[in-house]
Amino acid sequence: MTGWFLLLALLVLGGVLSTLGDRLGSRVGKARLSLLGLRPKRTAVVITVLTGSLISALSLGLLLLVSRQLRVGLFELNALEAKLRSSRADLKTSKSAQRQAGKELTTAQQRAAELRRTLKPLQEQTRSLEAERQRLSQDVNAKDIEIQRTEQELSAVRTQIRSGEKELNQLEDTLLALRRGNVAISSGQPLATVTLKLERPDQAKTVIDQLLRDANLQAYQQVLPGQPAERQILLVPRPDIKRLEQTIRKPGTWVVNIRSAANVLLGETVVYAFPEVRPNVTVTREGEVLARTTLASNERNPEAVRNRLNLLLASTLAEVQRRGSLSKGLQFDGNEINALGQELIDRNGGLAALEAVALRRSETADPIAIQLRLSQ
């Protein structure tokens, strides 16, 4: 829109200036004016030329005033051309650099692809080596744990060996003492036994003190025979005595044993012992069958009969001990057993059923009296 307005303005301005120049030239000619000593006709021509130049100058000035592109084209064209040539050169250089960069990029991409192909097996190998390293590390840790466990087991074995050697030395000493007949009290041997039922809990200490005095007297007589029992040679741990006192304070009937804690040689001055307490129970009743066995028809020789009778006695002792008896043996009539054995030897054949029968009611600390007989 601005361009059309500019053209219209130039046409109008050119028309006005032409008209003014023509009229001015006509008046100068009619007035026969002279400019710079020229003839009037020459003066009119000069006025006309000046008017045309003014029209051109005004037109050009207006164009330059309004159009920046025209000003740049007239006054900065050389600089623009130089800049254009420089830009074209730079563009050419840039294109060349771009082509070179493209070639380098292609080469780099090819190299990257080649490196990826080379790197892939290396990565797989690295993962494999890392897995192997972890496995070896776990193996090393497992071996370390196993070594530590082995060392602990070895230490425990060494401790057991030392303990075994010590025990072996003690057993050798005991065996030597037994061969010499110097063991006065065996390990676990009862020194005093009592069956008690307290009427009042405060009687516990008195009863225990009396039991310990009896055990000390028994130990003194066996370890230092012939010497008066003037001092305490029996040593029982105080915590064991406290537990014993707490137990017998409870309602019920109790059987208390003071047993030797180790073999004691004749002439020793200290006997270590410990208390044993258990509820008093009925072990046997009169006429109760405690064990049975059967002799086959071919078991009639003396050895077979003796073995069967011994087996019945051992079964009977095991049964009463299982029921809670403290007895270490059985009471029976040896003549009756001999007569029974002879009867079994002389029988004509067939099965013979034997049984062990309790002769009386017995409790925990009581001796066990039995009779062996043929089953009815």
> What pLDDT is stored for residue 144 in this prediction?
79
Distance (Å, rounded) from C-alpha 358 to C-alpha 288? 5
> What pLDDT is stored for residue 289 in this prediction?
93
Q: Given its phi and psi angles, is residue 215 left (phi above 0), alpha (psi -120 to 50 degrees) or beta? A: alpha
Structure tokens at 104: 């380098």
- Average pLDDT per block of 10 residues along the chain, 376 residues long: 61 66 62 60 68 69 66 66 80 81 82 81 82 82 80 78 70 54 81 88 89 91 86 91 90 90 87 91 92 88 90 92 89 91 85 92 91 86
* Cβ 340 vs Cβ 325: under 8 Å: no
* Cβ 56 vs Cβ 22: under 8 Å: no
Distance (Å, rounded) from C-alpha 356 to C-alpha 282? 17
* Cβ 370 vs Cβ 316: under 8 Å: yes
> What pLDDT is stored for residue 179 in this prediction?
43
Burial degree of 10 (CB within 10 A; 0-12, 13-18, 19+): middle
> What pLDDT is stored for residue 273 in this prediction?
92
Distance (Å, rounded) from C-alpha 32 to C-alpha 48? 15
* Cβ 367 vs Cβ 331: under 8 Å: yes
> What pLDDT is stored for residue 31 in this prediction?
59
* Cβ 295 vs Cβ 305: under 8 Å: yes
Tally the C-alpha atoms within 13 A of residue 34's C-alpha that lie toward its C-beta. 4
240's enclosing H/E stretch is: helix 238-248
pTM above 0.85, yes or no: no
> What pLDDT is stored for residue 320 in this prediction?
93
* Cβ 368 vs Cβ 320: under 8 Å: yes
* Cβ 262 vs Cβ 272: under 8 Å: yes
As a whole number of Å, the end-to-end CA separation of the chain is 150
| pLDDT digit string, tens, across residues 129-186 | 888 888 888 877 887 787 788 788 777 777 777 776 776 666 656 555 554 557 888 8
> What pLDDT is stored for residue 288 in this prediction?
93
> What pLDDT is stored for residue 4 in this prediction?
64
Distance (Å, rounded) from C-alpha 265 to C-alpha 300? 46
29's enclosing H/E stretch is: helix 2-31
